[in-house]
Chain A
Amino acid sequence: MLAAPKLTPGCSFHLFDNGEDREEYVLASADGRQFRVSALAHRILARLDGETTLDQIADELAGDSISVTPEQLRSLLEEKYLKLGVIEDADAPSVPGRTAVRRRPGFPMLLALPLVPQRLVGVLAGGLHYLYLPALALPLLALVAWTHALVYSTRLEVRGLGPESYLWITLLCLLSILVHELGHAAAVRRFGGTPGTIGWGLYLLLPTFFADVSQLWRFPRRQRMVVDLGGAYFQLLVFAVYAVLALSTGNRELLATCHLIDVMVLMALNPLFHFDGYWFLADYLAVPKLQAMAFRAVRNALRKVAGRPVEPLGLPPMRPLPRAVFWSYSALASVFLVAVGWLIYRYLSNVVLTLPVVVPQAIAGVADAVRDGEPVAFLVRLMTAFFLVAFPATAAIGLVLYVLRLARLCAGYLRRCRSGAPQGG
């Protein structure tokens, strides 16, 4: 590293709302990754302009009673930041034409492909963000409530819905999901940000749509929470439109889709998986890695009961209500973690018995539709066949991961018991 290192062009700092008075920053790298850094790290990194030497920075820090030698500073920067690509590395071989690559989402997203380009998302979000104006949002929410009352006082007759109806319902559901994702993007735009792409992928093996709102880490928590709920808000607006059309025309497909939209919204708000509800709760509590922190909190509580030493959790200061919410979530998530293995096992043991009968029937149905030249029946039966396999396969992957995690925990416990070391970590 040079005597006067330089921050990589394209890096930027943003104040991080961590829910406490301690100042922290988000360091955004040119390739789209983001890091939470302390005020001191921000202070040091912000001085890396290619002209200020490490000796000068060390002298400045010494003036504030932070004692570090230039060599130690160099070593710290090399160890912690050089590998992140946020500091220009004079020793690294230069690659002409090298472009920034955004970090791809990892597991459990097995696949993530862009569907609506970022530029188009920006244009659409630019036109829709006015729906967040309070003068518009409040009457629209009242409309959502009114249409719910109407829909749930109308009996839905699902018998007699044919393949064509199912295809229409699927398309209407897909449209509502796309609007859901646009809801997140429009909220990002509302608060002056630039929304990312909207895409689709596989969450394990379940088809999933997503809006990339990674820029959200730079927003105040209240704005992050609005963005988290923005998808549900927009999808419920679609509910209202479908409901008005369904009740004025008597269309059963639209009415059925309204019910399905509510199911999807409730699923999205479930905080136990990494969906909108999870992020909302994480932002409300100012705990970015909420799930990991929740499990650590329960483990600490159990260790305390057993009279063993515990490490501090590092939770931000919380008022009584958020504290109660955090502990309720921690207990619920832990119970769910214990129950999920059993639930998946029960589901799979039922499904596996029926699969050898049902899957050949579904495939034969698809083949019949091809032979008879019925495109609608073909699409509907193909989708049925896909979901017949996709749901159990997703559950099977989940069960394998669950068992592996348990095995790892047990192995770690046994290892610590044998070595006689205190059980932590």
Chain B
Amino acid sequence: MDHKKPEILQALLADLTPEELEPRLELQVFVDPMTLLAQANQNQNQNQNQNQDA
């Protein structure tokens, strides 16, 4: 048997090394509705002003 060869042992070591799988959390970030709607409001006002100017 050639088990004394270090390269064979290294290959075995690599093959037997476990890899931890990270916990899987399916995330959803809570978006602040006020910020988004305030932005939408601002955009609407700008569009309206542009239309009036035109």
Contact = CB atoms under 8 A, between A and B. Distances in A.
A288 B19 CA distance: 11
Given A84-B18, A158-B40, A260-B31, A211 B8 contact: no
Interface string B1-39: 111000011001101111111111111111111111100
A208 B30 CA distance: 5
A209 B36 contact: no
B20 A40 contact: no
Contact of B30 (A44, A104, A207): A207
A191 interface: no
A148 interface: no
Interface in A175-216: 177, 180-181, 184, 203, 206-214, 216
Contact of A173 (B15, B25, B30): B30
B24 A275 contact: no
A76 B3 CA distance: 13
Interface string A228-256: 10010000000000000000000000001
Contact of B31 (A36, A158, A216, A264): A264
A66 interface: yes
A80 interface: yes
B20 A68 contact: no
Interface stretch (A26-34, A90-98, A402-410): A26-34
B32 A387 contact: yes
A214 B23 CA distance: 5
A81 B27 contact: no
Given A68-B12, A173-B31, A177-B28, A156 B40 contact: yes
Contacts of B30: 173-174, 177, 206-209
Contact of B29 (A26, A72, A267): A267
B46 interface: no
B27 A209 contact: yes
B5 to A, nearest CB: 9
A105 B25 contact: yes
Given A67-B1, A159-B44, A279 B26 contact: yes
Nearest to B33: A169
Nearest to A206: B29
A35 B19 CA distance: 5
Given A156-B40, A166-B33, A256-B37, A40 B27 contact: no
8 contacts: A105-B23, A158-B41, A208-B27, A209-B30, A267-B28, A267-B29, A267-B31, A276-B28
Q: Which 6 pairs, one residue from A and one from B, show the smallest C-beta to C-beta distance?
A: A67-B3, A35-B18, A210-B25, A387-B32, A207-B30, A67-B1
Given A37-B19, A383-B32, 20 more contacts: A32-B23, A40-B12, A68-B9, A72-B12, A76-B13, A158-B40, A159-B44, A209-B27, A210-B27, A210-B28, A212-B25, A213-B24, A213-B25, A214-B21, A260-B33, A260-B37, A263-B36, A387-B32, A387-B35, A391-B32
Interface of A: 26-27, 32-38, 40-41, 44, 62, 66-69, 72, 76, 80-81, 84, 103-105, 109, 112, 156-159, 161, 166, 169-170, 173-174, 177, 180-181, 184, 203, 206-214, 216-217, 227-228, 231, 256-257, 259-260, 263-264, 267-268, 274-276, 279, 288-289, 380, 383-384, 387, 391
